[in-house]
C-alpha cells in the first residue's frame, strides 16, 4: 500500500495540475500591422501543432480560429412606414460589437462545436456580439442582432471561413486570414480552439497590434488631440486647393 501511494504521488507530481491531454503550440506570421497611405489589407498566418503526452483519444480532432477586432458600441434602428413616409420606429443599443470578426475552421461549425461550448466561449459571430438588456428595448431583440450581422457580412467585416483551416494528420495546422484595408486601429485578438466531438479540449490566445503610421497617424492624432488646429488646417488646404484649381483654369483659358 505504501509503495502504491508513493507511486501515485510521484505520478501526480509529474503531471501538471489541470494539464490538457492535448495542447496547442501556435504562432503568428506577424504580431504588428502598420496602416500607411498605400495599405490595402494584409494576411495573418496562424500556424501550430498539437502537443500530446499520450496517444490521441478516439474521434476526429478539429481546429477553430477566430480573429476579433476592437469592439465598439452602436445603436441599431428599425424603420417603419407611417403615413406614407419612412421613420425610425424602434432602436436598440448594442454594448459591444467587433469591428471585424472572422471564424476559420477545419469543417462545418455546427458539426465540430456544440451549442453549449459556443455559448461558453462565444465563438460564432452572434455570440461574439455582446448585447445586454435588448429584451427591454425591443420586442424582437434577435432580429436586431441578425440585422447587424447581415450588415457586417455585407461589408465584409464578418467572415465565416468554414473548411479553410488545413490540418495534417491531427498534428499540424495552419489558417490564413485576410484582414481588409478598412481596419480599425487597436488590438486584434486571435483565439485557437481544439475540439473533439463538439467539446473544446484546449485553447490558446494571441494578439496582433494594428496602428496607423506616418502621415495617417499624425493626422489621426491631430484630429483627436487638437481638433481646432485640424479644422483650420483642413480649411487652409481646401482653400489652397481651390486657389490652385482656379489658377490652373485661368492659365488654360489664355
Q: What pLDDT sits at residue 113?
A: 95
- Of 8-22, 33-47, 83-97, 132-146, minimum mean pLDDT range: 8-22
- Of 20-34, 161-175, 237-251, minimum mean pLDDT range: 237-251
- For the entire predicted model, the pTM comes to 0.73
Q: What pLDDT sits at residue 10?
A: 39
Average pLDDT over residues 120-136: 77
Q: Taking 90 as the threshold, does the pLDDT of residue 8 lie above it?
A: no
CATH class assigned to 22-211: mainly beta
Confidence of residue 111 (pLDDT cuts 50, 70, 90): very high
Asked whether 207 and 188 are in contact (CB, 8 A), the reply is yes
165 vs 241 pLDDT, higher one: 165
Confidence of residue 9 (pLDDT cuts 50, 70, 90): very low
Q: Taking 80 as the threshold, does the pLDDT of residue 3 lie above it?
A: no
> In DSSP terms, which residues pair with 96 in a beta bridge?
130
Pairing of strands 158-161, 166-168: unpaired
Confidence of residue 230 (pLDDT cuts 50, 70, 90): low
DSSP state of 183: P
CB burial string 128-140: b at 16+ within 10 A, e below = bbebeebeeebee
Q: What pLDDT sits at residue 7?
A: 43
Q: How far is CA 25 from CA 55, 95, 197, 246, in A?
A: 17, 33, 21, 62
Per domain, the residue ranges of the chain are 22-211, 214-254
Q: 115: which 3 cell numbers? A: 451549442
Q: Taking 70 as the threshold, does the pLDDT of residue 147 lie above it?
A: yes
Q: What pLDDT sits at residue 242?
A: 75
Q: What pLDDT sits at residue 15?
A: 43
Average pLDDT over residues 72-92: 77
Q: Taking 80 as the threshold, does the pLDDT of residue 61 lie above it?
A: yes
2 vs 213 pLDDT, higher one: 213
Q: What pLDDT sits at residue 12?
A: 40
- Could you give the percent of the chain with pLDDT greater than 90? 37
194 vs 16 pLDDT, higher one: 194
What separation, in Å, do the N-terminal and C-terminal C-alpha atoms of the chain show?
109
Amino acid at each position: 500500500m505504501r509503495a502504491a501511494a508513493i507511486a501515485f504521488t510521484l505520478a501526480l507530481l509529474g503531471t501538471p495540475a489541470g494539464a490538457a491531454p492535448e495542447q496547442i503550440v501556435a504562432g503568428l506570421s506577424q504580431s504588428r500591422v502598420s496602416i500607411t497611405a498605400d495599405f490595402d489589407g494584409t494576411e495573418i498566418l496562424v500556424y501550430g501543432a498539437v502537443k500530446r503526452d499520450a496517444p490521441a483519444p478516439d474521434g476526429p480532432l478539429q481546429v477553430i480560429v477566430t480573429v476579433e477586432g476592437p469592439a465598439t458600441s452602436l445603436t441599431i434602428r428599425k424603420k417603419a412606414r407611417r403615413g406614407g413616409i419612412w421613420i425610425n420606429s424602434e432602436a436598440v443599443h448594442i454594448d459591444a460589437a467587433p469591428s471585424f470578426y472572422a471564424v476559420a475552421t477545419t469543417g462545418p461549425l455546427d458539426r465540430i462545436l456544440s451549442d453549449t461550448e459556443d455559448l461558453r466561449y462565444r465563438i460564432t459571430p452572434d455570440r461574439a456580439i455582446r448585447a445586454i438588456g435588448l429584451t427591454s428595448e425591443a420586442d424582437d431583440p434577435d432580429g436586431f442582432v441578425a440585422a447587424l450581422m447581415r450588415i457586417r457580412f455585407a461589408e465584409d467585416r464578418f467572415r465565416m471561413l468554414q473548411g479553410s483551416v488545413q490540418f495534417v494528420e491531427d498534428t499540424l495546422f495552419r489558417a490564413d486570414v485576410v484582414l481588409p484595408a478598412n481596419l480599425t486601429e487597436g488590438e486584434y485578438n486571435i483565439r485557437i480552439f481544439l475540439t473533439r466531438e463538439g467539446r473544446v479540449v484546449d485553447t490558446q490566445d494571441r494578439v496582433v497590434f494594428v496602428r496607423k503610421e506616418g502621415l495617417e497617424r499624425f493626422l489621426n492624432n491631430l484630429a483627436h488631440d487638437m481638433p481646432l488646429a485640424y479644422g483650420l488646417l483642413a480649411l487652409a488646404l481646401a482653400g489652397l486647393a481651390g486657389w490652385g484649381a482656379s489658377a490652373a483654369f485661368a492659365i488654360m483659358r489664355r
